[in-house]
Chain A
Amino acid sequence: RKEVEQDPGPFNVPEGATVAFNCTYSNSASQSFFWYRQDCRKEPKLLMSVYSSGNEDGRFTAQLNRASQYISLLIRDSKLSDSATYLCVVTRGKLIFGQGTELSVKP
């Protein structure tokens, strides 16, 4: 079993849809949590950090549940430019990546 697991995807949604990504991690010693975005053939870029109190950045909301070892990302009013692979990342002295969930937003 992978240490960080994400929804398998791909997600194909119309513009304006709300999309939710789920991620679970197996090691309770994990320290920090992030969502990264990776466009095709590019390096990952930080989308947002994830906190137990939840955090919101415009159309994006991230949530962490340490008890359940569960991380989520919600994208509201999705745009064509949101099409990418979303990577759930935890740190335990090093970054540990989930396998990514591909999102394709269609007109």
Chain B
Amino acid sequence: GAVVSQHPSRVICKSGTSVKIECRSLDFQATTMFWYRQFPKQSLMLMATSNEGSKATYEQGVEKDKFLINHASLTLSTLTVTSAHPEDSSFYICSAHQGAQTEAFFGQGTRLTVV
């Protein structure tokens, strides 16, 4: 099956710094990628839809200036958590689809801890 690679898998950063997470589709082109956040014992919550070559679409309540998304190519989307705070500590996961309504392939996730 298609593979989506997410990096890094784990990061610890100081409060106030920025962290960049990469999501790559390894063997297919993804015009759309999705970014989710998952807090412990909760389900995945969609943060934003990343569109290649255009601005991301953010879900209600997600600050676009805090969670910067860049989708500069058909195989790479990045999420940058700016000025991270301890409450941003969470599991961030990206996904990509090969086509509309088909299976979503997930990255391995990034566990962010802000200290």
Contacts and interface: CB of A to CB of B under 8 A. Distances in A.
Contacts of B101: 31-32, 91
A36 to B, nearest CB: 9
Size category of the binding interface on chain A: 10 to 19
B43 A98 contact: yes
Contacts of B43: 87, 97-100
Interface in B57-115: 91, 93, 95, 101, 103-104, 106-109, 111
Given A41-B91, A45-B106, 13 more contacts: A41-B111, A43-B93, A43-B108, A43-B109, A46-B104, A49-B103, A87-B44, A95-B44, A95-B46, A96-B46, A97-B44, A99-B43, A100-B43
Interface of B: 6, 34, 42-46, 49, 91, 93, 95, 101, 103-104, 106-109, 111
Closest 6 CB pairs of A and B: A43-B106, A99-B43, A97-B43, A97-B44, A32-B101, A43-B109
17 contacts: A31-B101, A41-B109, A42-B108, A42-B109, A43-B108, A44-B44, A44-B106, A45-B106, A46-B103, A87-B43, A94-B34, A94-B46, A95-B34, A95-B104, A96-B46, A98-B43, A99-B42
